[in-house]
Amino acid sequence: MSSLDFFPASPGIPLSTLAEATGSRLLEGASGAAPVYRVAPLEAAGPGDLTFLENTAYAKFAAETGATACFISEKQASLLPASCTPLVSNEPYRAFAKAAGLLFPAAARPQSIFGMSGIAPGAFVHSEARLESGVTVDPGAVIGPGAEIGRGTVICAQAVIGPGVRIGRDGAVGAGATVTHALIGNRVIIHPGVRIGQDGFGFAMGARGHLKVPQVGRVIIQDDVEIGANTTVDRGANRDTVIGEGTKIDNLVQIGHNVEIGRHCVLVGQVGISGSAVLEDYVVIGGQAGVAGHLRIGMGAQIGAKSGVMGDLAAGGKYLGAPAKAARTFFREVAALAKLAQKDDQRGG
């Protein structure tokens, strides 16, 4: 079976163009005329490839790389062979990410599954929906009455956009995703299988049974948010669920009703945020961590993987464990337990 490249090589971009676009610089005497066409890791790169070095654990591959060019810090540039042109940057990985987006723009967000533009045969668009010019709708997608979708947005196959939903410009809704009861900003990326706007988990519990509480809020998603595959975002119960500008959410994350997430937060896979919790700006939460309901996580707090947050957390702190505690305290406790276990072993216990 022949190999298939889902992202074919770009027509090529000269190094001088990439340097300008990424805020990098060529060393004195280096030529910026050579083009690059692909990206590759240091150890596997060859002629025409662009790579990067930021993590020092990979510095051992620098001297042997076959790449045409490498984003790298100035102090490490001497590690590269003469055949590889350094693109000097204070943030090599960030520069590489921007360059890769220029080489492979189609890889940055879901694309039409049907490979076309406009409204495809087999799409179901209600007569009362309003789509700006330049919207792409794949076969099998459903767009309900009163929905509004902005220019440049792609609605992939089998996606469902509910009545009255508003989606801004240059966004993408992946295959099989559902979006209801939501107002969504510009450049929002919603990956396949995402569920946005379903009712939250709200019941008045009691001995006579659990009475369902109608969920009458919305989901508000601001500009430049990205939501990973099979993540769920429940609509608010009596107010809105809100996701702030620039926040990035991994696959398989659960966000409960009335949750407020600030700007530029990062939530890694399998995180769960219970109802009415508040995450202030720039919060980072590691994989499989959970946050109990009605809590407030302060700005810039970092919560380690598998942590269980059961109380409010102060801004700027680093937290680990279940229940979550200051990272320094967590590591002291681990060290103390290790010493106790060692003593027990020495006693033959």
Q: Who contacts 317 (Cβ-Cβ below 8 Å, separation ≥6)?
A: 298, 301, 302, 326, 327
15-22 helix and 92-103 helix, angle to the nearest 10 degrees = 120
CA quadruple 302, 305, 319, 339: dihedral positive or negative?
A: negative
- Distance separating alpha carbons of residues 75 and 105, to the nearest angstrom: 31
pLDDT recorded at residue 3: 56
Task: Calculate ∠ Cα 228-234-236, nearest 5°.
Answer: 140
> Cβ–Cβ contacts within 10 Å for residue 143, how many?
29
Alpha-carbon torsion (332, 338, 340, 342), positive or negative: negative
| Rounded distance between C-alpha atoms, residue 243 and residue 262, angstroms | 6
Helix, strand or coil, per DSSP, at residue 261: strand
The label of the residue with tokens 């809020």 reads: 217
Distance CA 349, CA 344 (A): 5
Instruction: Give the position of tokens 């995180």.
Output: 271
Torsion of CA 72, 75, 77, 78, to 10 degrees: -160
Q: What's the confidence (pLDDT) of residue 2?
A: 46
Please identify every residue annotated as catalytic.
257
Per-residue pLDDT of the chain (349 residues; tens, 9 = 90+): 445 688 888 999 999 999 999 999 999 999 999 999 999 999 999 999 999 999 999 999 999 999 999 999 999 999 999 999 999 999 999 999 999 999 999 999 999 999 989 999 999 999 999 999 999 999 999 999 999 999 999 999 999 999 999 999 999 999 999 999 999 999 999 999 999 999 999 999 999 999 999 999 999 999 999 999 999 999 999 999 999 999 999 999 999 999 999 999 999 999 999 999 999 999 999 999 999 999 999 999 999 999 999 999 999 999 999 999 999 999 999 999 999 988 877 777 5
pLDDT at position 300 is: 98
Quote the pTM value.
Answer: 0.93
Which residue has 């790579």 as its token pair? Answer: 51
> What's residue 5's pLDDT?
82
- Full DSSP string of 196-224: ESPPP--EE--TT--EEPP----EEE-TT
88 three-class SS: strand
Say how far apart CA 43 and CA 41 lie, in whole Å. Answer: 6
Amino acid at 116: M
The predicted structure's pLDDT at residue 1: 40
